Structure 1
């Protein structure tokens, strides 16, 4: 049974107009580098009485400095968390810094970067999930 309210929300961020494909097949995903945890996708815990979408977009802004649009949710991959596919406007930037002591760098990746606390399989599974969902909605 899926919870009505997750504990945390993560953002699977793609750029408008770019292909949404499995990792290594042409699309790019936005990652943030946490000083201790290494590369991960943006996200964090919901605050008291905060809606999942609001938490997701707040964390995206705090950790990347970008604003996006939530397209869909994967509410089943993590037992206590939801992963939202977010599309942001096109950008020429490939990496940048933000004013957040929990983020060393923000960077677009075509393949899963070296990870410390996460697994490559997690990101590949999520990439495949959102890619399949996108293909279904297009045709």
Structure 2
């Protein structure tokens, strides 16, 4: 009898641990996507520096990510920062150490951004959800 109760308690503890670990993922069980991907639509390679700050919410006024990418012409790079919270973010982007461009964007949880480098001075940003473009800035 004691063995059965102990075994039952152990199984319940294991289930609770699995549930707690799983709660770090999205509600539908899918790992969160990268917050953004960079696409170089220019004919020349570019160095792209992106620094992201939280605006309101969990990461209010704190730097949440800073990455520099070398993207070849026609290439794509993916951020290592995951969008597991969603929220409003301030993106500070420079191309080839040029002028800093700033964008404040509200990103839904589980969505990501497609940042397209059109030229060394022009950037286009689109919201992506389930591999579909939703809106462009």
TM-score bracket for this pair, using the shorter chain length: under 0.3
Bigger strand fraction: 2
Larger RCO (alpha carbons 8 Å, 6+ apart): 1
Q: Determine which structure has more spread, i.e. the larger CA radius of gyration.
A: 2
Q: Which has the higher helix share?
A: 1
